[in-house]
Amino acid sequence: MLRQTFAFMRDLPRLQEIASVLIHYGWGDIVRALGLANLLERAGRLLHWQTRSEVTELDLPVRIRLALTDLGPTFVKLGQVLATRVDVFPPDWITEFEQLHNRVPPVPFEQVRPQLEQALKQPIEAVFAAFDTEAFAAASIAQVHRAVLKDGSRVVVKVRRPGIEPKIEADLRILGHLARLMELEFPEARRYQPTQIVQQLTRSLRRELDMVKEARNIERFARNFAGDPTVRIPRVYWEYCSETVNVQEELEGVPGTDLDAVRAAGLDLDLLASRGGDAVLKMILIHGYFHADPHPGNVIYLPGNVIGMIDFGMVGRLTDRRREQIIDFLNALVLKDEEGMRNILLTWAGDAEVDEERLAYDISELMLSYDDLPLKDVQIGPLLADVTALMRDHHLTMPADLTLLFKALISLEGLGRQLTPDFHMIDHLEPFIRELYASRYTPEAVARRARHGVKEVMEVITGLPRDLAHLFRLARRGSLKIDLDLKRLDHFGHQLNYAANRMTIGVLTAALIIGSSIIMTVPDTPFALDFIAAVGYLLAFANSVWIVVSIWRSDKH
């Protein structure tokens, strides 16, 4: 508790900055409701409550984007995570979140050099034959420099910004606290899952902070595509990698953002789109480990129409079970199978309350809108957008790995259509789904699932007597417990504790007044007793003022 208090006091300046930005963009009521105003004022930090009229005239999603931009790198990353939650936020919100970029001016190299040399454990000149001190790319967490190793290999050096980790950790602590408060104070905010989103953000940021984790991601993708001549993954130079530095091969080709250069290089756009689509679908459906952000900036087109992929800071992973669900889901989309679609969505909904009849009707309406459209003309992006809109209408939320997957599929189709308007990802899906379904029902696969099922059943049967015996022992001892998850119970306990403290001070105040009055009515009392009575009156007065002010504040807020 003491450590939490010190951490909280250390974060007070940042908390004031966050509260001030929220107020500036018209969310003063939220600041009050979360108790931030009282908290900061008690800490002696005044808040300015002015909101410019031109700001309040902006649409809510625009104001949120501007506020996240003003709050800096952690909150920009939060917006990028929110952009993946197509199951929670409507399209106009997603559009605003997608405009958030964490590109920032690079740190001067003089500030980066000590950290780089500390990670390398030797001077830069001892490792590199040439090193470009001007960063060619910079984001909130790291910046990237070109260099040449002593053996002539061209590499890129990704260096974490000095001092960035404590700032991000402070922001994550505050965001976690604010998310819990929002779920307590605003029941309508729970459907947006603020706590889960902050947990997703925390995992994502901590992965990006560790340069070794990105290097491991690159190695994993390189193993998965070993022997595939159509895909190139950069080599990692492990001897120079650490938590703060990542050194990898520079892929020399045409950036995916420069289509004119792609055409000038004589590359086949149709073939590039086809190979890129197949590569990402192979990641998702075969490997279960995929690049979560396949936009043009993360693609390099190499001679021979080879697809080069870079920036593996954000990746997604699918379990075998989830992959099977994805295959069933995509198959239902391709075949326009209403029952299959409903079953998958209900599986993803978990324990959420669902009006199944209404859901079935809405799925039927969705499929009807694609009924007359030839399969080759179906675009997966708009189709997934319709599915996620349906999920939002029914308050169904997807697990985080699926939101990343949907975002990757939509980005992939956009990348393919940028290369050629004739790109239809659904054409690439069909062969994968047919192959995977065929492999699912081979005799070996069926026998393997049967063995696994029998094993699970036997474990349940053999463990049942033990579990029942344990349950009865707990009941006999009176130690059987039932946990109830009531979200506002802790908050209610704090309020009850606060009310009890206020009542105790009230009783003490009354006792001070009565005791002091008794002393003052006794004739010929010594001066010391009169002084004690006067101090008692002063304390009683101060306590009374505190009680009145606290009651007034609680009524006001």
pTM of the predicted protein model:
0.70
Query: How much is the pLDDT for 109?
Result: 92
- b/e burial code for range 117-128 (CB count within 10 A of at least 16 → b): bebbeeebeebb
Q: Which residue type sits at 194?
A: P
Element spanning 100, H or E: none
Continuous H helices in 478-526: 489-521
* Euclidean distance between CA atoms 116 and 140, whole angstroms: 17
288 phi and psi angles, rounded to 5 deg: 70, 20
Integer angstrom CA distances of residue 86 from 23, 54, 93, 195, 386? 27, 29, 9, 17, 10
Provide the 10 A C-beta neighbour count for residue 194: 19
* Euclidean distance between CA atoms 443 and 157, whole angstroms: 49
The pLDDT tens digits for 300-314 are 999 999 999 998 877
Q: Which residue type sits at 358?
A: R
Query: How much is the pLDDT for 386?
Result: 83
Instruction: Confirm if 57 and 50 have CB atoms less than 8 A apart.
Output: no
In the predicted structure, residue 513 carries a pLDDT above the cut 80 = no
Instruction: Confirm if 172 and 184 have CB atoms less than 8 A apart.
Output: no
pLDDT tier at 492, thresholds 50, 70, 90: low
* CA proximity to 233, closest of 180, 312, 296: 312
Number of H helices, E strands in the chain: 24, 11
Give the strand pairing for 306-309 and 299-302.
antiparallel
Q: What is the mean pLDDT of the chain?
A: 80
Residues in the chain, overall count: 557
Q: Is the Cα dihedral 546, 551, 556, 557 positive or negative?
A: positive
* Euclidean distance between CA atoms 216 and 207, whole angstroms: 11
Burial class (CB in 10 A: 0-12, 13-18, 19+), 112: buried
Instruction: Confirm if 130 and 123 have CB atoms less than 8 A apart.
Output: no
The pLDDT tens digits for 175-217 are 888 888 777 777 777 767 788 888 878 888 888 888 999 999 9
Query: How much is the pLDDT for 3?
Result: 44
* CA proximity to 399, closest of 294, 285, 317, 336: 317
For 149, the 3-state DSSP assignment is: strand
More confident residue, 330 or 286: 286
293 is catalytic: yes
pLDDT tier at 1, thresholds 50, 70, 90: very low
Radius of gyration of the chain (CA): 30
Query: How much is the pLDDT for 244?
Result: 92
Provide the 10 A C-beta neighbour count for residue 268: 15
The pLDDT tens digits for 102-151 are 667 888 999 999 999 999 999 999 999 999 999 988 887 889 999 999 99
Catalytic entry in 87, 171, 293, 328: 293
Instruction: Give the distance, in angstroms, between the CA of residue 112 and the centroid of all CA atoms in the same chain.
Output: 28
* Euclidean distance between CA atoms 425 and 435, whole angstroms: 16
The pLDDT tens digits for 371-406 are 776 666 777 778 888 888 888 888 777 777 777 788
Q: Which residues contact 543 (CB under 8 A, 6 or more apart)?
A: 505, 506, 508, 509, 512
Across-strand partners of 156? Answer: 146, 248
* CA proximity to 174, closest of 8, 20, 23: 8
* CA proximity to 127, closest of 148, 158, 154: 148
* Euclidean distance between CA atoms 370 and 335, whole angstroms: 11
Instruction: Give the distance, in angstroms, between the CA of residue 515 and the centroid of all CA atoms in the same chain.
Output: 59
* Euclidean distance between CA atoms 301 and 415, whole angstroms: 12
* Euclidean distance between CA atoms 81 and 216, whole angstroms: 22
The pLDDT tens digits for 12-45 are 777 777 878 878 787 777 766 666 666 565 555 5
Maximal C-alpha separation, the chain: 111
Instruction: Give the distance, in angstroms, between the CA of residue 142 and the centroid of all CA atoms in the same chain.
Output: 19
Q: Is 161 left (phi over 0), alpha (psi -120 to 50) or beta?
A: beta
